[in-house]
Structures are given as C-alpha cells and as structure tokens.
Structure 1
Amino acid sequence: MQSSDLVSSFAEIAREKGIERDMLQLIVEDVFRAMIRKRYGSDESFEIILNPDHGDIQILHIREVVPDWDLEDPVTQIELSQARQIDPDFEVGDEVAEEQDIKDFGRRAVLTARQTFSQRIRDIEKENIYRWYSELIGEIVVGEVYQTRRREVLVIHNKVELVLPREEQIYKDRYRKGDMLRAVVKEVRRDEKSNNVQVIISRADPMFMERLFELEVPEIDEGIVEIKKIVREPGDRAKVAVISHDERIDPVGACVGMKGARIHAVVRELSNENIDVLEWSDDPHELIKRALSPAKPLQVTLNDELDPPRAKVVVRADEVSQAIGRGGVNIRLASAMTGYEIDVYREILEDEEDVEIGEFADEIDPVTLQKLRDIGCDTAKQVLELSVEELMRRAGLEADVAQHVLAVIKAEFADEEEEEFEG
C-alpha cells in the first residue's frame, strides 16, 4: 500500500467521525512515529510532513554524515560513502534527509498502524460523547427506539446509543422499534478500565417533568414562575409546587393553562400521570394543607423534635380516603413534598363517644400505649382509623402486637354496642 492511500483512508474515517483536521494531523503523526519507534527504537531522527487534504505524507530520515568506519549509531548517522551514493556532494558533518517508503516497514506494521489509528479515533469519539452529553445533563433529548430489552431500552440520538433503564421508565409506557421517544439526560458514566461511555436517560426523574413544564409554560421558561419542588410516583401521580415572582401572575393558573391545555400536554407525554399543581409556602402548616389536596385538612399539628419530623393532620371523615389516596400515594407524595411524616386522622365530633387510650392499660402494655401516643393516637377511635400495616409502619409495632391492639379496641366498642342494643 502507498503511504498516500493509507493517509487518504485515515482522512476518510476522520471525516465520517467528525474529527477536525488539526486533530487528524496529530493522530496520523503519532501513528507513524509509533511505527518508526517499533522499527528503529527511536523517532528523534525522523521528520513527518503531512498534507491530509491531498493524502500526501513524507517520512524523512535525517542522519549526520560521518567518516567511513566511524559509524556508531546507524539511526542517527550515515557513512560518507553511503551518503555520496545519494548525492556525491555530501561531506562529513552534513545532514542527509532520506525519504522512507511505507512499504519498507512491512505489511504487519501497516496493519498495526491501521488498528492504532482506529483505536485512537474510537477513544476520541468516546471522549467527545462524554463531553457532549455531560453538558446535556438535565436537558431533554429526542431519539429513536432501536432495541427493547428486558431491563432497558436502547435509543439512538445523533448516532449515539442512549440507555433508558427499567427504573427510569414510566411503567405504563410501551416501546416499539422505530418509535420516537423524549427523555431527559440523567447521567453520563465512564468505565475507567475500558474507557467505554454510557449515557443514561430518564422519563421517571422529576427533572423530566420540570423540563416539560418549561416547554409548555412560557412563564416558567422566562423565570416569572418558579418550580420549587416536584415529587413523583411515575405513571401514577405527581405533585408540583410553584411560586410566582410577579404578584399579578397566578402560578397555578399559569401551569394549568386555559381549560387545562398546558398541563394536559405534560400529562399526555407522561402516560396520563395525574399531576397536582399547588402554590408553594414557606409555612409548613400551610404547605402540608396544600400538599394533601384534594383533601382539605381541618387541623395540622407539627412535632419537629422527631427525626423525621411528624405532622398530625385531622380531616373530615369523608375525606380520609382522599387524603391518603389510592394505595397511600397521596399521603406519600405529600410527605415527600413537605419533609414531614404525615399521619391522617378523621375528625371526631363532640357528640361521638370515644375512649382515652389509657383506659386499655390492663390489656395493652405501657410501652405499646406510649408508642400509640407518640404517633398522635390518644383515643381508641384514632387507633381504629389505622390498619395493621399502618400501625406497624408508624408505631413500629410487631404484626401480632398491632393485631392484638386493634382486636382489644374493637371488642370494647362491640361490647358497648351490644349493651346499647340490650338496653
């Protein structure tokens, strides 16, 4: 192979990969110098002149002319008689620049040069991908689904493979090859050993929802309305707390839009995820009330001495299920939004009979009674509002203890009802 053919093939690969001309020159020179070092042990006596645009390259071997029989280093020196075969006018002390033919290095060396060049291009490509996508973290990209796997979906964006792991997917989504997909760049990982780069994208991250609101709500994009916090259970429900920096602008109304047009665009993109938009408040009492929407709490009592801090919330009896939400999703999101572990209790009317929890001291041990009081259960009916699972989670009771507590209290009210009936 001619050196010009080799350089031309290098230049073509570089153009396909978007490698700049100056970078190409550096890589090609490094590749040829590696060939020289392998053959001669050093590249100090060689000069490489490259014109990648025309595929021209010259490798000049520069040696000093020494008297015959005084040759010490054939890499840096040449005997006078040998120099005069190149040009009869050479004298001792002159420098001889002799052009090297790439064929002199052998076929194996040329093959190695190709492999070295390709590896260098791949390394640069990986570095460019790492740099480009690191700058895109938190931004939305649109790519094409080209492969679906059990634990991940592979997406092509600008000829780069992006990975959408299962935990970053909305569970309702279904992906087919060729579908266009929007997601946010979440993370760029690099393996230190192999130098491989992996770009992780997400549709489940709150940042994706925030970017979608920026696209749909000009007031957010312009900084008039600010998203203070987003909490999500992807595909099911989300809560978005917003604040306005212009008193004339209603932040919730701006996000919802006329007849819900703006928020519906976000909801459609997120597989019909229910989104509650609420106005942010620095007052935790007020924020908890708003976060528990659509329920309307009657009373909020905070205990900031616990870790995490807890909030006891009283709602009307017919709003308990709304406050908790299906599967507990509403109360979980409200807790995540406010930073308080929220305990919801129904309102007990004045004429409604109830019993102080201390009245059960003969059947429930003092430690358990104190645990119930710690979570705001001062009366029997407050305890009955909770399930076995909630008593275990909130009060830290064992399953059999929680079952015993509920059985004892239920029996008390059953006995009272029986006495009233008999009476």
Structure 2
Amino acid sequence: MAITSANQLELLQTAEAVAREKMIDPGLVIEAMEESLARAAKSRYGAEMDIRVKIDRKTGRATFTRIRTVKGEPELENYQAEMTPTQAQQTLGVKGKDYVVIGGMSQPEGEDEAPRPIRRFLLRKPTELDRALAEGVDQSAPPAEGDELVDEVPPVEMGRIAAQSAKQVILQKVREAERDRQYEEFKDRAGTIINGQVKREEYGNVIVDIGAGEAVLRRNEKIGRESYRPGDRIRVYIKDVRREQRGPQIFLSRTAPEFMAELFKMEVPEIYDGIIEIKAVARDPGSRAKIAVISYDNSIDPVGACVGMRGSRVQAVVNELQGEKIDIIPWNDDQPTFLVNALQPAEVSKVVLDEEAGKIEVVVPDEQLSLAIGRRGQNVRLASQLTGLDIDILTEEEESARRQAEFEERTKLFMDTLDLDEFFAQLLVSEGFTSLEEVAYVELDELLVIDGVDEGTAGELQARARDYLDEQNRKALERARELGVEDSLVSFEGLTPQMIEALAEDGVKTLEDFATCADWELAGGWTTVDGERVKDDGILEKFDLSLEEAQDMVMSARIALGWVDPAELAETDEDGEPAEEEAGA
C-alpha cells in the first residue's frame, strides 16, 4: 500500500474518530501515525537514517524528510544521519541554489541545557512560505556545527509487515495516551467516593468499572460479609492512584476509616459546610465503628446533627456499610475527658494519663469491666485507635490491690533503710514520700507536719537518709571505676553515681562515648512498628530522665568536647530550627 494512494482526508478523519473513542487529543493520534510512517520509511531507506514524517493537520498530506546534523569530525558517529561542515558544504554545492535556509532553535536534550540557534537547510525548491520563514537568515553563511540538512524523500510503499508494524505503533501510542489521560483524571480524585459497576472477580479481588477505566477493590479492602456479582452497582473510596509500568492503577476501599468520614460528609450538610468537623475515625469494618466530631457553632450539637431526625442520617451510613454499628462521640481536647467519651457505653471511675509514654490507665467499676473491654476487646481497641493512646483497663478492686502493694513496698523501703518501725514508715508514705531522696533533701518544714515529728526527729531522719544515699553513691562509683569509667565522665555535671554505674554496665565509659548517644538511647522512648507502639528501653530510664533532659546533657557533652560551637548553636536556635537532629521515637 502506498501512502500517496491513500485518501489524505480519510487519514485525518480516522485520527479524529480514534481520539473521540478513546477521549484523547487528536494530535496525539496523528503523532502516532507520523512515528509509524517514519518507522516504515526507515525499514525501506535504512534504520540508521534519521527520517521524520510530518502530516499536515489541514490537508492530511504526509511529508517524508531525511535529517542530517552537522557535527565536528571527532564527534561523527552515524554517517547516515550526521556529516561534517565540509561534507555539508559539498552537498549544498552540488545542489546549487535548490535550497533555502530557515532559522530556528534546537530542542535541548537535558533540563539544564538551554535551546540554541540552529539553521535548517531545506534541500528543495523554496516555496513562498519558505521565503517568508527565511527572512532575516543569512543565506550565504556556510553550514556550522549544530545545523541540519533537510532532504525530502519519496513516500514509501507499505507492505503487509510494515503496515502491521505501523498499526502496532499507533495502538501503543494511543494506549499510552489513554493511560496518561486516565492517570491525570484520577490522580486528584484520591480521597473521594466514586460509584462503579462490578465487572468480574479475580482471586478474591473485585474489578470495578469506573467509567473511564478499571479499578481494583482488593480482598482485604472489602467488608467481610460482602459479595458481589457482575453488574452490581457499588460505592467505593478511591484510596490510592499510582502510575505504574502497565498503566495507572486505581485502588479502592470500603474498609478505610476515610470512607466512613466521606459518607458522613455526603449525608450531613454541616460537615460538608465545615460547621462540624470529623476529628477521628476508628473502624472494625462490618462490625463496629467510633467517630469523633466537634462543632464550631455553639448552637449546633455535633452528635445530634450526625444522627439526624430519628436517626435518618446515621442510618443511611449504616445501611451503606452493611449494618456496621456506629458510636458518634463528641471530641474534647482534654485527652482523659475524650477517652471517657470514647469508652462509652462503659462508665469510668478514674483516668491516669502518662503523656510521655503515650499510655493511659482507666479504672472502671468491677461490673463495667466487660462492657469497657467489649466483645473480643473491640471497644477498648477502637477507643485506643480513636485517641492514639495505649489503654490499660483496671477494675477498682485491681487498682486498690496495686496501690496497697505500692504502699507496702515503700513502707518496707523506709523500714529497711532508715531503721524505722512499721507505724512510722507508714506515716511517711501516707504523707506522700515515695523515695529516700525526698526524705533526705526536702524542706524541714514538710517533715514537721507529720504527727509526732519534732525538729530533732526530722533532722535525724534526714541524716539517716543522707548517710544511706552517700554510702550507695560510694559503692556505685567504686563499681563504675572497676568497670573502667574515666574521670571525664565521672566529673560531668548532671550524672549521679548510680547513673554512671548504669552507663558503665552498658559500655559507656568515657565522655566521648556519652556524647555519641542519642537522647532516646538514654531516656527511652516509643517506636511504632506495624501500627503498634513498641517500647525502647533507655539506659537511664529508671532514673526518670526525660527526653529533653537527655538531649540537653548530650549537647552539653558535645560542647565540652568541642564538637559543637555554642555560638553557632545559639544562632541556630534564633533561626527557629532545632539544634538537635536526634529525637526520641
């Protein structure tokens, strides 16, 4: 088949029809046709030749041209597509006046390369258009490196193999353009809800027709008891859109917490308008969920607005989620108060929050324990997800037993170390003393408030406590020196003998060793692994050292060693940037 015998307008009509069918730019289809014709021409004239095809967008006429770039002798590699300035001048000399010079700019190959002026020598009789384009271009200057010689070649006869190859090129280009269009259409729709139609099921994954392509609802993103048949209508959440080698991949979900939030946004106008905000969502898909909401208008109850008249709004969401029970909880910035709300319907007697560890203890009446934990731990698990805290639930009886154990332990500590009888030791514990350090270094007046304690007794208590602590410090220091601790670490301000002993047992024996430690290695911290918080034990954690204190101590050690300039550190702090890159997990 010869390209010259084809109906040229039909070529444009075909491109338009394909573009409409695939919803892509007709120009992309024509570019694919140009590339396919160029490949066919190369198979006819030679694969090393730089042959390009241009299809006129108005007439459909295809022009075949051979391009030869002018390069220096050392850079010459492909003699079919490149030539030296001398060869170019000889070629033009043979052609005589049968060419026209047109100015232009080169296409940069890299991002950092700027376009530069080039000239194109058209080796054919110039037309009126050529003369117009050639205005202002020096026609007499010889070819230079970077210029191009453009030679028009006859159209090719397309045999069966060439036609098949051209068809494959066009299909490939159209497929790539269709994929790009699909990705551009859906990349900004991630995080929204879309309606689709089930096409088929593959290995438990549901393939959904979303109009402009296909998306996949993976098996683990389906609500457990749901089943679908081809043709079923389905509402899904676009969880992720990725550009991959095989085309854009659109991943759907019905179990994501964001799916529930988007459903409420559709059902509750106040959420859509921003009057009510969804602060947190926790789901056990298909079974139970908790959603925390807050209202920015004092006249609107966030929980009542989400429930709706006779429960109409929340029921619409429940029906979409196959009967999933939903607890709507008012948000509170105070974490203990919010947790009490999150554990509904269980009643809470007391809450003890450990902010540094991200843990919270909840005390409930004995008869409320099963309700607070929920079926298979569901209630406390959802409350933990909602608040972002690890929750320990104790009954009042268990908490009382634990407090009694702590009371007895501290009583025994004072009896053994201060040589006190049980009654007097219990008095100290009852007044809030928890350690020997508190007894030894507290203001004398705080001991005098204890019944039966005068100045002499108080002084004797403090003397005994200090003597015991001094003896413990001496033993700890001796043990540390036996382990090889250097004086640079012993004399470092802020470290107690017990701390130095603990560091030595862990292999930290010099100030340099201490300065290389991270704050979390000293104070401990928490790391999230596979969605669960895991405890990292610190060397000095048992001494109640905080992350901030550990950070300050490590920085002081680095300054003392000359590793850090205090002046530069002060400048960094003034700029508002953190002086220490390390942080506890």
Deviation at 1:8, TM superposition (A): 4.6
Match status 1:48 vs 2:54? yes
From 332, 338, 342, the equivalent of 2:381 is 332
Q: Identify unmatched segments of 5+ residues in structure 2.
A: 68-86, 99-122, 127-150, 410-531, 536-585
Deviation at 1:267, TM superposition (A): 0.6
User: Deviation of residue 283 (structure 1)?
Assistant: 0.6
In the other structure, the counterpart of 2:38 is 33
What is the match of residue 252 of structure 2?
A: 201
Residue 47 of structure 1: CA displacement? Answer: 5.9
**Alignment RMSD, CA only?**
3.5
Residue 6 (structure 2) aligns with: 3
Aligned to 2:454: none
CA displacement at 1:146 relative to structure 2: 1.3
Q: How many residues align?
A: 335
Judge conservation of contact 2:276–2:294 (CA < 8 Å) in 1: yes
| 2:165 maps to which of 112, 117, 126 | 112
| 1:138 is aligned to 2:188 | no
Distance in 1 of aligned mates of 2:275 and 2:56:
56
1:16 lines up with 2:26 in the alignment = no
The equivalent residue for 1:320 is: 369
Encode CA deviations 1:232-286: one digit per residue, 9 max, x unaligned: 1111111111111111111111111111110000011001111111111111110
Map of 1:200-219 to 2, 5 A cutoff?
A: 200-219=251-270
Counterparts of 1:183 and 1:265 in 2: how far apart (Å)? 15
1:178 matches 2:227: no
1:60 offset after TM fit, Å? 4.9
Q: In the alignment, what sits opposite 1:310?
A: 359
Structure whose CA Rg is larger:
2
TM-score in terms of structure 1 length: 0.70
Match of 2:222 in 1: 169
Does the alignment pair 1:294 with 2:299?
A: no
Report how far residue 216 of structure 1 moved: 0.2
Cα deviations by residue, 1:151-186 (Å, 9 ceiling, x for unpaired)? 311111114111000111111212111110001111
* Greater Cα shift, 335-344 or 161-170: 335-344
Structure 2 Cα separation of the partners of residues 37 and 78 of structure 1: 27
Describe the superposition over 1:281-306 as per-residue Cα deviations: whole angstroms up to 9, x where unpaired.
Answer: 11111011011011121110112233
Write the distance in 2 (CA, Å) between the matches of 1:105 and 1:353. 93
Partner amino acid, structure 2, of 1:95: K
| Alpha-carbon distance in 2 for matches of 1:355, 1:24 | 79
Deviation at residue 43 of structure 1 after TM alignment: 4.7
Aligned residue number for residue 248 of structure 1: 299
Summarize the Cα distance change of 1:302–1:36 in structure 2 as closer, same or farther, 3 Å threshold.
same
**Residue 294 of structure 2 aligns to a residue in which SS?**
strand
Residues 111-170 of structure 1, C-alpha deviations (whole Å, 9 max, x = no match):
211110100011111111122111110011101111123331111111411100011111
One-letter amino acid matched to 2:386 = M
Cα distance in 2 for residues equivalent to 1:107 and 1:149:
38
Unaligned runs of 5+ in 1: 64-71, 84-92, 362-392, 397-423
What letter matches 1:187 in structure 2?
D
* Residues 313-322 or 113-122, more deviating: 313-322
Provide the secondary structure at the position in 2 that maps to 1:135.
helix
1:95 paired to 2:132? no
Q: Answer with 244-253 or 10-19: which moved more.
A: 10-19
Q: Determine which of 124, 127, 136 is the counterpart of 2:180.
A: 127
- Alpha carbons 2:28, 2:177 under 8 Å: kept: no
8 Å CA contact 1:310–1:340 kept in 2: the answer is: yes
Separation of aligned partners in 2, 1:156 and 1:124: 19
Take 1:263 and 1:218, find their aligned partners in 2: how far apart are those partners? 13
Conserved in 2, the CA contact under 8 Å of 1:240 and 1:278?
yes
CA distance in 2, matches of 1:171, 1:113: 48
Q: Rate the CA distance shift 1:77–1:151 in 2: closer, same or farther, 3 A.
A: farther
Alignment check: 8 A CA contact 1:36 1:42 kept:
no
- Structure 1 residue 198, shift from structure 2 partner: 1.5
Q: Distance in 1 between matches of 2:345 and 2:370?
A: 10
**Structure 1 residues 136, 343: CA separation in 2 closer, same or farther (over 3 Å shift)?**
same
User: Mean alpha-carbon deviation: is it higher for 162-171 or for 315-324?
Assistant: 315-324
Identity of aligned residues (%): 37
Structure with the bigger RCO (C-alpha within 8 Å, sep 6+) is: 1
Partner Cα separation in structure 2 for residue 218 and residue 50 of structure 1: 53
Q: What are the equivalent positions in structure 2 for 1:72-87 lying under 5 Å apart? A: none
Give the secondary structure class of the aligned counterpart of 1:232: strand
In structure 2, what is the Cα distance between the partners aligned to 1:129 and 1:58? 30
CA distance in 1, matches of 2:269, 2:407: 59
Match of 2:61 in 1: 57
